[in-house]
Structure 1
Amino acid sequence: MSNAETIIEEIGLYLEKSSLKKSNITKEELITFIENKWKEADDEKYNIHQGCIYIGRMTNEYIWAKDFDNMMRWLAEDEKHISSKKHEAYIRNYYKGQCCLECGNEEKALEYFHLSYADNPDYIFERAPFCYEFFNRHLENPRELNSEIDDEPETDYYIELDYWKAFFKEEGELCYHFLDDEGEIMEDSSELQEKGISYLEDHQEEILHTMLGELLKIYPDLQKAYDYTEEYKKDCMPDIKTIKGFSGLLSPTIFYVTSVIKDDYPYIGFSFNCPWDIEHDLGFMVHKDRVVEIGDAALAFDTFIAQNDAQLR
């Protein structure tokens, strides 16, 4: 009986554990764990989709470490995976060339780019600029590249919430977006949306406490729903008695100021990284200091929830 599925799952759990806010797992320990587990798994690992994801992860780990030999070894593992058969040779060769270039081996990168170019002369010029600009310099007849840079509108805004920084023990600014009536990110904000930002700045402690207080109420039910074993519960979903317990588990990532207005204030959705659901994370929809709903991170930009609440109250 194959052991691959069980081992792939073990790798996934270890990766989740390593990404936790309080994790003490080092990069070296992570790489060693995956290397050993990968060797332990039988060849069925090449037929499991998640195995392809972990191959890509290890390839990138060695790119970041500028370890060319180990990177090439994992690219060879990628060739064995069933997913690689879905791509044409010119796509696979381009990918190898990009990895080699990122790892610092220009000679090998050029070799793979030429292989890709021979099969499809246009493909590389549709990909990453740093790749096709490098390759173009080595062509006997270089192409004329478009040097014009499109000015994209600024849609990322940042704010410092001092109380939040102290509570979560994290530095830096928090990114946010303004959403239009269709829930799409927009460049400009309305006067009432800006009023919502001012309210958040002035009431940041109250808003955070309210959100986490509501989360604390449903937290025992969430623990039952996720049903972590004792081994993982202490890291992913430990028992918590006060909102302070969330400070070491959650990290605010982004928030969205919607165009849904009630009583002259917009609904705002907040997204957090959380250890019990790394794939979907955690989201709140809030109006002033009232929590409308708690769900996954997608809730933070779900304007339908905001519109529905605005009509009901």
Structure 2
Amino acid sequence: MSNAETIIEEIGLYLEKSSLKKSNITKEELITFIENKWKEADDEKYNIHQGCIYIGRMTNEYIWVKDFDNMMRWLAEDDKHTSSKKHEAYIRNYYKGKCCLECGNEEKALEFFNLSYAENPDYIFERAPFCYEFFNRHLENPRDLNSEIDEDEPETDYYIELDYWRTFFEEEGELCYHFLDDDGEIIEEPSAFQEKGILYLEDHQKEILQNMLGELLKIYPDLQKAYGYTEDYKKDFMPDIKTIKGFSSLLSPTIFYVTSVIKDDYPYIGFSFNCPWDIEHDLGFMVHKDRIVEIGDAALAFDIFAAESDAEIN
């Protein structure tokens, strides 16, 4: 009987644990754990989709430390996986060339890029600029890259520094946000009402955060039951919490969206947070001023419909 599925699950849980905000797992421990577990698993691991993802993770781990030999070893593992066989040879060779270039081996990168180019001359020029710019310098007849560069896209990323949030979560840096139009698409220029919402957030950042976490605390026991972590994992992913301060070591704000839905001259704003109990979907809040409209996964943060529904009801 195959042991691969069980071991792949063990690797997944360890990766999740290593990504927790207060994790003490080092890069070296992570790499050693996955290496040992991968060797322990039988060949069925090459047929499990998640196994392909972990191969990519290990390839990147060795790229980051510029360990070319181990990176190539994991690229060979990728060749064994059934997922890699779904791609054309020129795609696989481009990917190998990109990895080699990132790892600092230009000679090997050029070898793989040439293989990709021979089969599909256009593919590399549709991918990462640092790859096709490097490759173009080695062509006998280089392309005119200036004619292929698109016009710069408008700037739609905005940033704000919320002092109370930074102190509460013990994290440095600004928080990114976007403005949304009536269709939920990101826009460059906000309306006067949307800008007013940002000013309100700055002036009431403490109340907004405390209200969000206060509402989360009320439903948290039910969430614990729903996710059903065993005691071994509960302490890491979903520990018991008595006050909102307990969320400071679990959650991290990631991004928020200022919607175009306006009520009483203020927009609805959706906030997204990384959370350990659901790494795939994360955590989201829809807020109007300092009132919490709804709590869900991160997709709620840009759910125009949720904002519209509340605005109509209220």
Query: Which residue does 1:229 correspond to in 2?
Result: 230
The correspondence of residues 226-305 of structure 1 with structure 2, limited to 5 A, is 226-305=227-306
Per-residue deviation, residues 101-145 of structure 1 (Å, max 9, x unmatched): 010000000111111111111111111111111111111222222
Query: Which residue does 1:217 correspond to in 2?
Result: 218
| One-letter amino acid of the structure 1 residue matched with residue 157 of structure 2 | D
Provide the rounded CA distance (Å) in 2 between the counterparts of 1:80 and 1:200: 51
Query: Which residue does 1:81 correspond to in 2?
Result: 81
State the Cα distance separating 1:149 from its structure 2 match: 5.5
State the Cα distance separating 1:151 from its structure 2 match: 2.2
Query: Which residue does 1:187 correspond to in 2?
Result: 188
Query: Which residue does 1:155 correspond to in 2?
Result: 156
CA RMSD of aligned residues (A): 0.8
| One-letter amino acid of the structure 1 residue matched with residue 196 of structure 2 | K
Query: Which residue does 1:95 correspond to in 2?
Result: 95
Q: TM-score, normalised by structure 1?
A: 0.99
Provide the rounded CA distance (Å) in 2 between the counterparts of 1:277 and 1:11: 16
Provide the rounded CA distance (Å) in 1 between the counterparts of 2:257 and 2:121: 42
SS of the residue corresponding to residue 28 of structure 1 reads helix
Provide the rounded CA distance (Å) in 2 between the counterparts of 1:130 and 1:140: 18
| One-letter amino acid of the structure 2 residue matched with residue 272 of structure 1 | F
User: 5+ unaligned residues in a row in structure 1: which ranges?
Assistant: none
Provide the rounded CA distance (Å) in 2 between the counterparts of 1:145 and 1:290: 51
Answering whether residue 204 of structure 2 is matched by residue 203 of structure 1, we say yes
Provide the rounded CA distance (Å) in 1 between the counterparts of 2:195 and 2:137: 48
Provide the rounded CA distance (Å) in 2 between the counterparts of 1:142 and 1:183: 41
State the Cα distance separating 1:310 from its structure 2 match: 0.3
What is the aligned-residue identity percentage?
88
SS of the residue corresponding to residue 178 of structure 1 reads strand
Aligned residue pairs total 313
Provide the rounded CA distance (Å) in 2 between the counterparts of 1:209 and 1:125: 49
Query: Which residue does 1:51 correspond to in 2?
Result: 51
State the Cα distance separating 1:76 from its structure 2 match: 0.1
| One-letter amino acid of the structure 1 residue matched with residue 111 of structure 2 | E
| One-letter amino acid of the structure 2 residue matched with residue 63 of structure 1 | I
Q: TM-score, normalised by structure 2?
A: 0.98
SS of the residue corresponding to residue 145 of structure 2 reads coil
Provide the rounded CA distance (Å) in 1 between the counterparts of 2:52 and 2:118: 27
User: 5+ unaligned residues in a row in structure 2: which ranges?
Assistant: none
| One-letter amino acid of the structure 2 residue matched with residue 290 of structure 1 | R
| One-letter amino acid of the structure 1 residue matched with residue 7 of structure 2 | I
